[in-house]
């Protein structure tokens, strides 16, 4: 009986594309496509990710060659590895039939290489005896090279997806794939564990989750040798993550305590020394972002940040709460010296509207980033109030992603923009102040049980 080909197989054959299978970690599945799309775009790779299912740990894709597969996965945080697909089936018998039909011409290529077999399993696992028994069924591959458990020339993998019903796990996998390992990701190399906040030398109450910081930097396309800027640096979570990907970290923060740290050996710079990226570190200094002192011709390639939104502490900028009372203070003399010029001077701060701050952030990004540069920031929302048009907009920035991390009654969303050239005509909109959405901080401390009559964020001058 003649073989029936799938449409995807015919397309791949006609275009010279090859089938690969990606294995994912079970973390933040709704961020996977955004990360892979961003990494593909960064490397000039065309890829169709429409086959992704957040509930599945594996996804089949078509790529031109192994080099594309390596570049796509090498720095991924949410993927674990990618494999050249040789066959698939619902059981071992159909898997072997698929391998013989699709990959028989590849057997000779690897006949004399040292090799080993790995198992990549989801929601199930085999015993050692079962693994050996399964490996024995692949004898028809005819490999004559030595089995080498450490550093073999080729690694072949059986990928298994088990079906779980209630509390009972299946004895046999629901579906299997077989392939040659092409690349494992930064995650599989241990970067998530390495950058874990529990192991970091200098952290604070606002330190951002290390895994999500790395994912954010991937989606923001932090590039080797390019500047990554965080206007609200804190203890430097995003700058540390960006340095891992080769970026040159630059940061500012209005809070001198977080920048200075707890001493010469326990501060923000200590983290870069810890991870061996101190040579990339540009600088971090105390500055109010809304009164930015950076030169206007200084190009910032990527902006990644988590703006303060008033849960741990209120959002403030430089300025007097009551300008009338503050008038004339700039001439105040202390011990024969102007007060604001003294080293012990504490500049006054006033509350600020988060909507205004996000307006400032988008305007700054549109002005300072090159075409193609990305802005990625996190913003909080109450789940029962959020709608997409609450996201601020700028006429030179195209909105790429709004990705949600949910915490029961509230969420924080990663909002990602890319700067376009003058031919792009978007809108400059910030509707958060006019849509009647209640003040997030008030609702947070009331456990979201009441809806405040205040607007989404406090207006300038309110606490």
Q: What integer pLDDT is reported at residue 312 of this predicted model?
A: 53
Q: What is the arithmetic mean of pLDDT over 130-141?
A: 96
Give the CATH number, domain containing residue 34: 3.30.2130.30
Are the beta carbons of 288 and 317 closer than 8 angstroms?
Answer: yes
Tally of structural domains, the chain: 2
Q: Which of 139, 167, 187 is a domain's end point?
A: 187
Residue 374 lies in a domain: yes
Give the CATH number, domain containing residue 286: 3.40.50.150
Among the residue ranges 92-96, 211-215, 265-269, the one predicted with the least confidence is 265-269
Pair 169, 270 in one domain: no
Pair 170, 218 in one domain: no
Q: What integer pLDDT is reported at residue 458 of this predicted model?
A: 37
* The dihedral formed by the CA atoms of 417, 232, 278 and 190, expressed in degrees to the nearest 10: -60
Neighbours of 236 (CB within 10 A): 32
CA distance 165 to 100: 32
User: Which backbone phi and psi does 289 adopt, to 5 degrees?
Assistant: -60, -35
Residue 320 lies in a domain: yes
pLDDT surpassing 90 at residue 314:
no
The string of DSSP letters for 174-207 reads: SEEEEEEEEEE-TTTTTHHHHT-GGG-SS--TTP
Are the beta carbons of 214 and 195 closer than 8 angstroms?
Answer: yes
Pair 243, 300 in one domain: yes
Tell me whether strands 58-63 and 410-419 are parallel, antiparallel or unpaired.
unpaired
Using CA of residue 121, residue 122, residue 126, residue 128, what is the dihedral sign? positive
Pair 183, 280 in one domain: no
Are the beta carbons of 229 and 302 closer than 8 angstroms?
Answer: yes
Q: Which of 120-129, 204-213, 217-226: highest mean pLDDT?
A: 217-226
Pair 316, 389 in one domain: yes
Residue 51 lies in a domain: yes
Residue 78 lies in a domain: yes
Q: What integer pLDDT is reported at residue 301 of this predicted model?
A: 98
Pair 385, 239 in one domain: yes
Which pLDDT tens digit goes with each residue over 396-435? 999 999 999 988 777 889 999 999 999 998 887 665 444 4
Using CA of residue 244, residue 250, residue 252, residue 256, what is the dihedral sign? positive
* pLDDT class of 67 with cuts at 50, 70, 90: very high
Q: What integer pLDDT is reported at residue 163 of this predicted model?
A: 82
Q: Which of 187, 215, 250 is a domain's end point?
A: 187
Q: What is the arithmetic mean of pLDDT over 153-178?
A: 86
Pair 119, 182 in one domain: yes
Pair 312, 370 in one domain: yes
The mean pLDDT value of the chain amounts to 86
* pLDDT class of 164 with cuts at 50, 70, 90: confident
The pLDDT > 90 percentage for the chain reads 64
Question: Residue 307: CB partners within 8 Å, gap ≥ 6?
Answer: 231, 232, 315, 354, 357, 358, 361, 377, 378, 379
Beta bridge partners of 249: 228
Residue 269 lies in a domain: yes
Among the residue ranges 122-126, 275-279, 311-315, the one predicted with the least confidence is 311-315
Pair 269, 147 in one domain: no
Pair 182, 195 in one domain: no
**Single pTM value for the model:** 0.87
Residue 176 lies in a domain: yes
Residue 215 lies in a domain: yes
The string of DSSP letters for 286-307 reads: E--GGG--S-TT----EEEE--
The three-state secondary structure class of 256 is: helix
Q: Which of 155, 170, 187 is a domain's end point?
A: 187
Residue 457 lies in a domain: no
Q: What integer pLDDT is reported at residue 428 of this predicted model?
A: 75
Q: What is the arithmetic mean of pLDDT over 254-282?
A: 92
Domain containing 311 equals 191-443
Q: What is the arithmetic mean of pLDDT over 261-272?
A: 91
DSSP 321: S
Q: What integer pLDDT is reported at residue 330 of this predicted model?
A: 60
Q: What is the arithmetic mean of pLDDT over 54-76?
A: 97
Are the beta carbons of 120 and 81 closer than 8 angstroms?
Answer: yes
Pair 332, 394 in one domain: yes
Pair 220, 312 in one domain: yes
pLDDT surpassing 70 at residue 439:
no
- Between the alpha carbon of residue 176 and those of residues 97, 122, 134, 172, 193, the distances in Å are 12, 11, 12, 10, 29
């Amino acid at each position: 009986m003649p073989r029936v080909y799938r449409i995807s197989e015919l397309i791949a054959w006609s275009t010279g594309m090859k089938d690969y299978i990606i294995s994912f970690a079970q973390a933040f599945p709704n961020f996977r496509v955004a990360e892979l799309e961003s990494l593909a775009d960064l490397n000039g790779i065309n890829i169709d990710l429409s086959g992704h299912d957040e509930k599945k740990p594996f996804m089949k894709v078509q790529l031109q060659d192994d080099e594309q597969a390596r570049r796509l996965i090498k720095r991924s945080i949410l993927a674990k590895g990618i494999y050249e697909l040789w066959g698939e089936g619902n059981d071992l018998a159909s898997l072997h039939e698929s391998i013989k039909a699709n990959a028989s011409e590849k057997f000779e290529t690897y006949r004399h290489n040292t090799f080993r077999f790995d198992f990549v399993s989801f929601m199930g696992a085999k015993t050692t005896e079962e693994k050996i028994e399964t490996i024995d069924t692949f004898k028809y591959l005819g490999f004559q090279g030595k089995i080498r458990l450490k550093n073999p020339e080729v690694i072949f993998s059986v990928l298994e997806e088990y079906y779980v019903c209630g509390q009972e796990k299946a004895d046999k996998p629901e579906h299997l794939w077989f392939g040659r390992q092409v690349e494992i990701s930064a995650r599989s190399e241990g970067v998530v564990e390495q950058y874990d906040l529990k192991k970091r030398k200098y952290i604070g109450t606002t330190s951002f989750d290390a895994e999500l910081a790395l994912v954010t930097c991937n989606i923001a396309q932090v590039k080797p040798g390019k500047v990554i800027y965080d206007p609200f640096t804190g203890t430097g979570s995003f700058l540390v993550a960006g340095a891992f990907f080769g970026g040159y970290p630059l940061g500012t923060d209005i809070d001198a305590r977080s920048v200075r740290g707890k001493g010469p050996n326990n501060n923000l710079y200590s983290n870069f020394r810890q991870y061996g990226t101190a040579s990339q570190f540009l600088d971090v200094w105390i500055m109010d972002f809304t009164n930015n002192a950076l030169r206007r011709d200084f190009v910032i390639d990527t902006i990644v940040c988590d703006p303060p939104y008033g849960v741990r502490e209120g959002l403030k900028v430089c300025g007097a709460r009551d300008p009338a009372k503050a008038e004339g203070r700039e001439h105040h003399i202390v011990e024969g010296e102007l007060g604001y010029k003294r080293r012990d001077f504490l500049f006054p701060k006033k509350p600020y509207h988060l909507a205004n701050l996000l307006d400032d952030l988008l305007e700054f990004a549109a002005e300072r980033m090159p075409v193609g540069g990305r802005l990625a920031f996190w913003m909080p929302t109450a789940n029962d109030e959020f709608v997409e048009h609450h996201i601020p907009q700028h006429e030179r920035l195209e909105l790429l992603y709004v990705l949600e991390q949910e915490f029961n009654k509230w969420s924080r969303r990663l909002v990602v923009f890319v700067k376009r050239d003058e031919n792009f005509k978007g809108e400059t909109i910030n509707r958060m102040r006019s849509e009647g959405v209640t003040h997030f901080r008030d609702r947070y401390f009331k456990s979201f049980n009441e809806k405040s009559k205040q607007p989404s964020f406090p207006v300038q001058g309110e606490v």
